[in-house]
Structure 1
Amino acid sequence: MLKKITVEQATTGMFVHQFCGSWVDHPFWSRQLLIANGSVLRKIRDSGIRELIIDLERGVGVDKPEEIASPLPVPDPIPVITDSPAEVQESLQPNPIADNSSCSVAQELDRAQELVARGKRDVIRMFADVRMGKVIEGEGLQLLVSDMSESLKRNAHALLGLVRIKRRDEYTYMHSVAVAALMLALARSYGCDEHTIRVAGMAGLLHDLGKVAMPDHILNKPGKLTDAEFDVMRGHPAAGASLLTALAGMPAEVIDACLHHHEKMDGSGYPGKLSGEHISLMARMAAICDVYDAITSNRPYHLGGDPASSLSRMASWKGHFDTSLFHIFVRTLGIYPIGSLVRLASDRLAIVIEQNPASLLKPRLRVFYSATKRQWLSPETLDLAIDDCDDGIVGREDPVAWGLSGLDRLWAGSVAVG
């Protein structure tokens, strides 16, 4: 039996069937968990959630709570990984790549900016060489991947934030650089060894190589593709894999990621309609990183989405991604990735400028806009993690709906990408 209670009625031993509110209002990855101890209970009471739905058959109850016949809808779903309290607690551990940062985002920005510009030049040259039938210069690409990996070690979010900023006319090249950075970060968060991390970066850099074989009028079309044109574009994974197979020493994992990065866990992807564990780990990682960068980037026919809203959209696509890998990907970027527009309890708008490794829900922000007066404010930095902070995030906002543009300058400062 399901019953609704207030957070004040909650006690240890109860089994939470559902939190009554958005997933961003509480610090738990699963919407179902056992209140196993006082620590979990305190987290619930300190969150933005005011009511819970408990399952009386899986935990203790209280006197006279309101009975309900069925669970309420949950807005903005995040993947449910497990109902196990132990694993839920494990999911709350600090973000591994952020927790090991040796410098701040601001300190790493200049070096990351140089890497992004260098990466774009290298990818442009690589595509040109392939079009002219030349052999890819692998040594330079390996050095680029290695240097990107080192930047991510120092502070992952500087590079990950910068690679999202693209001009519409450079998407094809910058997309490869961005997916390489995302793959490196995801592989490190997943716990891969250094060799595998660099293989993942190379897979990201080369995953779309087959686009060199696509007709320019389709590849650069400023509008939506027709069904016939999309059928042609579906050939780019096989074309890329064929090019990579011809290169001596190319890791099999890189070729596989190139061929299968458009597969889906439910078998509805292409080209092989593979499903579940039949899709390699590297290809499953590439699928997540490829889509995230695609939907957050400005392209000739598409305005990039807000990072946090894009993660929420991806979470709702059932059967598309490996759930556990996507969970790690969100932890890697943060629930509110750098550059996300958020609304505060004080009715101000702010942009996320840095992650807090101890709490995904309490990043550092730059507050710049009054939502009630609809006017710009003098920008100020706000750290939600400090003890005396009396403000907090109440939700994500769409910059387009507010008529706001160029917000990346609020965290990237005067750094110019490209």
Structure 2
Amino acid sequence: MDNRMDSPGITTLRKIKVAAGDLKIGMYVCELDRPWLDSPFLFQGFVLATQADIDAVRKVCKYVYIDAYRTQFPETTPRRRPIKSSRLSWTAAPPEKRVSVEREIDRAQNTHTQTSKLVKTFMDDIRFGRGVDIQLARDAVCECVDSVYRNPDAMLLLTQLKDRDEYTAQHSMNVCIFSIVLGRYLGMSIPELRNLGLSGLMHDMGKMRVPLEILNKPGRLTDEEMTVVKAHTVHGRDILMSTRGVYPGAIDVAYEHHENLDGTGYPNGLTDAQIMPYTRIVAVADTYDAVTSDRVYQSGRTHMDAIAILNNESGKRLDGNLVTKFVECLGTYPAGSLVEMSNGEVALVIEVNPRQKLRPKVIMLLDADKNPQPHRIVDLAKLDLDPCGQPYRIKAMLKNGSYNIDIKRYYEQGLIQRTVR
């Protein structure tokens, strides 16, 4: 149910149905599942200020309606605290890779395929007014975390399989992966990575309440259209607040991922100390994937362009320490990068060497004349020699599509998988 009264001087009301078991401190109860006179409550509308208040509601109600505009959640609940008091450490050493990319690629492919389908299902469910099965989302994220923890490069490679027409769904999937990759690099625990990944996966679900003609408009948005788009953070909060069993931090992320450290973001103009750790991480991942993706109104930029943009926003919109860590964990040539070798051959990066980041493992695609050549894996850290007897080294990073190379097409044809295996 969604009732809005926006006339001057009239209180705006947005009612969201919430199961009694999902009530949280700070929510404003505006309607019960029974008449107020049949309840023990004296006032028709009240804030859940303590756990005792929640317990009292649970004794008599199976569900209630909360007023999202008058609730204190998630902006001023006791969970909110300055970043300095977070348990997360920005200096923890990342774990070693447990398996090679060759061993992980099949499992990563299956997880990526199934989770991508699930994201599309969630988005369709939201568009048609149905709820999200959060347990399915949790299970899928657990698989993503397990894959990234074993070897992040396999999943990072799959983030490059992009389709302009499916940007919103792919973006949610990619932000989930990039967030988990960064969290792993920060030394976060498996349970923390699962919560972080779920937050990344669900961060943009509110866009399903934005009309498609605005969301997919190829030209510049009007001020009115931009206002509609910005409302996706509120929609995302409302969707997740009414989802049974959702991780509360995911609500923070959905609502706040466009807040900036310098206070210039939306919807509330929060500043540095008010923005939660997971929101900061997802904001970095969100920015990177948005910049590097093709969309209806812009072409994606290269990894190096994206890094330059992240560095420019460091300390302004984005957490500077997290930007530094994100750049470190991806490296100069992250998995999925298209590169040109010093002898003119073209290759695809499939695995980063954490100790020699300028010498990744690659699949050779084109010869020096830019003609297709038999695919083979070359490990630059082993100083493999090119046809002229010189050690292979990378000369430049290329944009996907250079020399008519479509990484997604290569992948769909099974060429990458067969070579990696």
Q: Which residue of structure 2 lines up, in the alignment, with residue 298 of structure 1? A: 294
Tell me the TM-score normalized by structure 2. Answer: 0.69
Change (3 A) 1:345 1:208: same
* Distance in 1 separating the partners of 2:224 and 2:334: 36
Using the size of structure 1 for normalisation, the TM-score is 0.69
Contact 2:346 2:370 in 1 (8 A): no
Specify the alignment match of 1:364 in structure 2.
Answer: 361
C-alpha change, 1:348 and 1:117, in structure 2 (3 Å) is: closer
Tell me if structure 1 keeps the 8 A contact 2:162–2:408: no
Alignment of 1:287 with 2:283, yes or no, is yes
What is the Cα-based RMSD across aligned positions, in Å?
2.9
The 5 Å alignment of 1:88-99 reads 96=94, 99=96
Match of 1:320 in 2: 317
Whether the aligned pair in 1 keeps the contact of 2:241 and 2:251 (CA below 8 Å) is yes
Q: Is the 8 A contact 1:112 1:158 kept in 2?
A: yes
Partner of 2:397: 396
Task: Tell me if structure 1 keeps the 8 A contact 2:160–2:407.
Answer: no
Q: Letter of the aligned partner of 1:144 in structure 2?
A: A
Inter-partner Cα distance in structure 2 for 1:134 and 1:415: 39
Task: Kindly name which structure, 1 or 2, has the bigger radius of gyration based on alpha carbons.
Answer: 2
Contact 2:179 2:200 in 1 (8 A): yes
- Asked whether the 8 Å contact 2:345–2:370 carries over to 1, the reply is no
Distance, in Å, in 2 between the alignment partners of 1:388 and 1:126 is 46
- 1:85 maps to which residue? none
1:350 aligns with 2:347: yes
Q: 2:150 maps to what in 1? A: 154
In 1: Cα distance, 2:116 partner to 2:181 partner: 19
Pairing 1:341–2:338 present? yes
Separation of aligned partners in 2, 1:289 and 1:324: 14
Spell out the pairing of 1:61-76 with structure 2 (5 A cutoff): none
Shift of 1:167: 1.6
1:272 deviation in Å?
Answer: 2.0
Q: In the aligned structure 2, how far is the partner of 1:264 from the partner of 1:245?
A: 23
* Cross-structure match for 1:74: none
- Cα deviation for residue 391 of structure 1 reads 3.5
Unmatched 5+ stretches in structure 1: 1-89
- 8 A contact 2:410–2:416 mirrored in 1: no
Superposed CA deviations along residues 84-134 of structure 1, whole A, max 9, x for unmatched, are xxxxxx98x9x835x3232x2232222222222211221222222223333
The 3 A distance-change label for structure 1 pair 305 and 107 is farther
1:214 corresponds to which residue?
210
Secondary structure of residue in 2 paired with 1:385: helix
The 1:331/1:391 distance shift into structure 2, 3 A limit, reads same
Are 2:134 and 2:246, in contact at CA under 8 Å, matched by a contact in 1?
A: no
SS of the residue corresponding to residue 348 of structure 2 reads: strand
Residue identity opposite 1:328 in structure 2? K
| SS of residue in 1 equivalent to 2:381 | coil
CA 1:164 to 1:415, structure 2 compared with 1: closer, same or farther past 3 Å?
Answer: same
- Would the aligned equivalents of 2:161 and 2:407 in 1 still touch at CA under 8 Å? no
1:193 correspondence with 2:189: yes
Secondary structure of the equivalent of 1:161? helix
Equivalent residues, number: 322
Contact 1:356 1:363 in 2 (8 A): yes
For the 8 Å contact 1:113–1:162, the answer to whether it is kept is yes
Q: Is the 8 A contact 2:262 2:317 kept in 1?
A: yes
| CA drift at 1:261 | 0.8
Q: 2:230 aligns with which of 226, 231, 234?
A: 234
1:391–1:415 Cα change, 3 Å: closer
Letter in 1 for 2:118: D
Is the deviation greater in 321-330 or in 142-151? 321-330
Question: 1:28-62: per-residue Cα shift (whole Å, max 9, x none)?
Answer: xxxxxxxxxxxxxxxxxxxxxxxxxxxxxxxxxxx
Give the counterpart letter for 2:404 in structure 1: L
Say whether residues 1:174 and 2:170 are aligned partners.
Answer: yes
- Deviation track 1:276-315 (CA, whole Å, cap 9, x = no partner) reads 2321111111111111122222322333233344223322
SS of equivalent residue, structure 2 residue 310: helix
Most deviating of 337-346 and 277-286 = 337-346
Whole-angstrom distance in 2 between the partners of 1:411 and 1:217: 31
**Unaligned ranges ≥5, structure 2:** 1-89, 386-390
- Name the structure 2 match of 1:269: 265
Aligned letter for 1:252? P
CA contact (8 A) 1:257 1:283 kept: yes
Contact preservation (8 Å) 1:308, 1:337: no
Partner amino acid for 2:188? C
Counterpart Cα distance in 1 of 2:193 and 2:124: 27
Task: Check 1:413–1:270 CA distance in 2 against 1; reply closer, same or farther (3 A cut).
Answer: same
Deviation at 1:351, TM superposition (A): 2.5
Alpha-carbon separation, structure 1, partners of 2:357 and 2:258: 29
User: Which among 367, 377, 388 is matched to residue 381 of structure 1?
Assistant: 377
Alpha carbons 2:400, 2:406 under 8 Å: kept: no
* Matched-pair identity in %: 33
- The superposition leaves residues 201-253 of structure 1 with CA deviations (integer Å, 9 ceiling, x where unpaired) of 11011101111211121122244433332221011011111221223432321
Tell me the amino acid that sits aligned with residue 225 of structure 1. Answer: L
Report what 2:405 is aligned to: 405
C-alpha displacement of 1:383: 1.8
SS in structure 2 of the partner of residue 266 of structure 1: coil
Alpha-carbon distance between aligned partners in 1 of 2:415 and 2:256, rounded to the nearest angstrom: 35
Work out whether 1:246 is the aligned partner of 2:242. yes
